[in-house]
Copies of this chain bind each other. A is one copy, B any other.
Amino acid sequence: MNPLDLSLYLVTDQSLSKGRTHEYIVAEAVKGGVTVVQLREKNISSREFYELAKALMLIVKPLGIPLIINDRLDIALAVDADGLHIGQSDLPYEVARKLLGKNKIIGLSIETIEQAWEANKLDVDYIGLSPVFSTNTKLDINTPLELSGVKKIAGFTKHKTVAIGGINNENAESIISSGADGIAVVSAIVSHDNPQQAASELKAIIDKVK
C-alpha cells in the first residue's frame, strides 16, 4: 500500500448528500482529488452498511484510495476495508488493532489536547483532530480545538494528523499552515452541487500550501 496521504479526507454523510447516493458522491469526489474516503453510518442496518461498504470498495480500490470504516470493525473486516476510524466511545484501540492486524490503517479521534498526548502511547496510523471549528454535522460536539489547538498538537504528536469540523475553501489553507497533514470534510463536498469541483478546489488549496 502507498504511504497514507491524508491531504483531502472525505467523510460520507447520507443525510447531507441531498438525495444523491454515496456511490455517486464518492465517485465524483475521488475524480476531484480526494485521497481517503471514510464511510460513516449510524442509523442503518448492518446489512445495508455492509452492502454500501462493498459498493464503495469497488469504486476506490482500483484507484488505490483507502476506504476507512467508521466505528464498525465488523464491517471493515467483512469487506476487507483498508482501515477503521474509531472515536473515544468506540472499541478500545488495542482491541481494534488486535482484531484488524498490523497492516490495516487505524485512525483515532482526538477531542482534546490531553487525548492527543495519550495517543502518543499508541501506534495508531493517524489522529483526527475533532472538531477544529464548530459544525452542525455531528451531534456530540466538544469545544472546538481551533487553529491554536491544531498548532499545539502538531507540535508534539508523533502521528499524522487530519483536522475535521467546519472546514471549507475559506479556512482550509489555515489548517494546513497550522501543521495538520490534511483536512477532513463532510458537507463541503457531499452537500456541494458539484462534488468533483468541490474536491478539486480544496485539493488545489492544500497542494499550494504543502
Contact = CB atoms under 8 A, between A and B. Distances in A.
Interface of A: 45-48, 50, 71-74, 77-78, 88-92, 95, 99
Nearest to A78: B95
A12 to B, nearest CB: 18
B71 A91 contact: no
Given A45-B89, A89-B45, A74 B99 contact: yes
Contacts of A46: 71-72, 89-91
Contacts of A72: 46, 74
Number of copies: 2
A72 B45 CA distance: 11
A39 to B, nearest CB: 15
A53 to B, nearest CB: 11
**Which residue among A46, A71, A77 has the maximum number of chain B CB atoms within 10 Å of its CB?**
A46
A78 B91 contact: yes
Contact of A48 (B47, B74, B89, B95): B89
